[in-house]
Amino acid sequence: MRYDNGNDEIFDLIVVGSGAAGMAAAITAARHGLSTVIVEKSRYWGGSSARSGGGVWIPGNSVLRREAPADDIEEARRYLAAIIGTEVASERIDAYLDRGPEALEFLLDHSPLKLEWVQGYSDYLPEAPGGRAGGRSCEPLPFDGRALGADLETLHPPYAEGPAGVVFKQGEYRWMSTGLRNWRGPRTMLRVGMRTALGRIRGQKLLGLGSALMGPLMLGVRAAGVPVRLNTGMVELVFEGGRVSGIVVEHNGIRSTLRARRGVVLASGGFDHNPEMREKYHREPVTADLSLGAPTNTGDGITAAQRVGATVSFMSDAWWAPSIPMPKGPWFALSERSLPRSLIVNDRGVRFMNESLPYVEATHRMFGGEHGIGDGPAENLPAWLIFDQTYRNRYVFAGVPPRQRLPRSWMRSGAITTAGTLTELAERIGIPAAALEATVSRFNGHARGGSDPDFGRGESAYDHYYGDLANKPNPSLGELTKAPFYAARMVPGDLGTKGGIDTDIHARALRADGSVIDGLYAAGNTSSPVMGYTYAGPGATIGPALVFGYLAALDAAGVNTPR
C-alpha cells in the first residue's frame, strides 16, 4: 500500500459519510465558519438515505406547525417515553425532541429542501400514550435533479425504480397500491402520470422519495463550500494526545492523513454489509445479502471508534424490514402485508402475529419475542405470506400491477410459490397442510365478522394506512377463497443496522465509564439509536440522523445553546 508523503491536509471538521447525518453536520459546520470536508467511501453520495422513502419524523417542526397544528412536542415526548421505555437515556430523547425543530429549520434555511406533512400516515404505534393517528411524518416534494449538475450522475441509485419510471410520494403510494379499489387510486395515478409526463416535456430529471431529500441537501453542501470526496474510504482514526485529531483515508490505492482541528463526525452508516459483524451480532437467518442499506455500509466507523475506546449498544437489533427474497435482491414488503385476503404463517402453518404490524415490530415477531434478540433459532422462521387470486386481481404486489402475471423468475427462485389448493400449496412449501387449512379457515371466519381476536389485526390506525378502505367491514381483513393460492417466502431483511457508538446529547462518542472521547462524534446509523428497540414512525431514522448531525457540528463549532 502506498502512502502520500506530502503534507497532511488540515480542516476544522471532517465528516465521514454523505447520508442525511453527514450532510446535516457538514452544512451546519460550514455555516458556522468551520472548514469542513465530507469523505465518502462509495462512488456515490447520499448513502442509505438516498435509497429510503425520504420521510422525516421530527415532531414540532415548522412544516407540522403550519400543516398539522394538532402536533405537540410534549405529546411526542409522552409517546417516545411510552414506546422506548428506559432503554435510552431520557436526556438523549429530550435533546432530539427539543432541538429537532431548530435543526430542521436550519437545514431548510440553508438548502432548497421543501417538505410537506404526509397526512394520515400514522405514527407506527399510534394507540400508545401520545401517539398520533394523523401522523407526524414529513416528506420531500419531487425535485428536479437538473439543479445538481454533474452531481446528479453520482447520486446513489434508489432501492427500486418506480413502475414506468414514475416519481411518486409516500402519501401517493398508499393509494396506488390498492389499484382501482378506491376512487383515490385512479385519481392519484392520473396525478402522478401527469406530473411525470409534464416533467419529461419540460426536460426535467424528477427525483422522489430519498433522492428528493438528499438532492437539495447536496445543494446545501455545495452552497456552503464543502468539498465531497467520493471513492475515499476511512481506514482508521488518528488518536493522539488523548483526542481524535484526524483520519487516515484511502483513495485509488493511496493512503493519506486528513487532520481535524475540531473533530471527526462518523456518519458512515451501520454494518449492513459486513458478514463477519452480522455473524457476530445477529441471529440466523440474517445475512448481509438481505440488507437494503447502501452496499458500502460495512461498519467502518463503528469499528474504528471501538479501537479508540468507544462503547456500542443495540448491536443485536436493526431497522428490520420483512422482505421477499427476489432473484435481484430483497423486496421490502411494506403494503403487501396489510392488504386483505392475506396472512402470514410460520413453518408450522399457523399465524403468529398481526401481519400489519410496523416492520421492525413484525420482524421481531418473526424471530420470536418482543425484541427478537437472544440466542437459539428463530421461532417463526421460515415464514410465508399467503394470499389468493382476488388479492392479485385487486392490488399491486412487489411493484407488479393487479391482474398482471408475476415473473416466472420469481417462481423459479422459490420466492413465490403457487398452487390450485391450499393443501397443494402447503405441500410445495413444506408446511403441514392440515394446519394451514385450519389457520385459513379460522382467519376467514373472523374476517367475515371484521375482527381478529387472535392478534388484533385491523384495530390500529396504522393497520389501515396500507389497508383497503373499500374493503368492508375491516380495511385490513378479507377471506382467502379464490384459487390459485400464493405463498411468498418472508425473510428478515433490514433497512440498515441499529447498533452503534454510544453518544451523549451533543453526539459525542462515549467510553464505557461515560466519559467523552474528545474530538469524536457519531450520528445516523453509526451511532446507537435514540429509538431504542422500537420505531416511532415514518422517518424516525432520518429524523434523528439530521438532528444529531446538526448537534455534533454545533458542538464542534462551540455553539451548544439553542439559537
Quote the CA–CA distance of 17 and 46 in Å, as a whole number. 8
Strand segments, DSSP code E, in 267-341 are 312-313, 318-326, 329-332
**Mean pLDDT within 88-113:** 98
Q: What is the crossing angle of helices 90-109 and 20-31, to 10°?
A: 70
Residue 401 has pLDDT above 60, yes or no: yes
Q: Residue 101: which residues within 8 A CB-CB, separation 6 or more? A: 58, 59, 60, 61, 62, 73
| C-alpha distance across the termini of the chain, in Å | 46
Quote the CA–CA distance of 113 and 219 in Å, as a whole number. 9
| Higher per-residue pLDDT: 534 or 7 | 534
Query: In this prediction, what percent of the chain has a pLDDT beyond 70?
Result: 96
The CA R_g of the chain, rounded to the nearest whole Å, is 23
Residue 156 has pLDDT above 50, yes or no: yes
Q: How would you label 316-337 residue by residue, b for 16+ Cβ within 10 Å and e otherwise?
A: bbbbbbbbbbbeeebbbbbbbb
pTM of the model: 0.96
Residue 208 has pLDDT above 80, yes or no: yes
pLDDT at 6: 61
| Mean pLDDT of all residues belonging to the chain | 94
pLDDT at 562: 55
Query: How many other C-beta atoms are found inside a 10 Å radius of the C-beta of residue 424?
Result: 15
Residue 259 has pLDDT above 90, yes or no: yes
Residue 4 has pLDDT above 90, yes or no: no
Query: In this prediction, what percent of the chain has a pLDDT beyond 90?
Result: 86
Assess contact for 1 and 253: CB atoms under 8 A.
Answer: yes
Strand segments, DSSP code E, in 77-124 are 115-117
- Most distant CA atoms of the chain, gap in Å: 75
Quote the CA–CA distance of 342 and 386 in Å, as a whole number. 5
DSSP output for 9-47: EEEEEEEE--SHHHHHHHHHHHHTT--EEEE-SSSSBSH
Residue 198 has pLDDT above 90, yes or no: no
Q: How far is CA 249 from the centre of its chain?
A: 28
Residue 2 has pLDDT above 80, yes or no: no
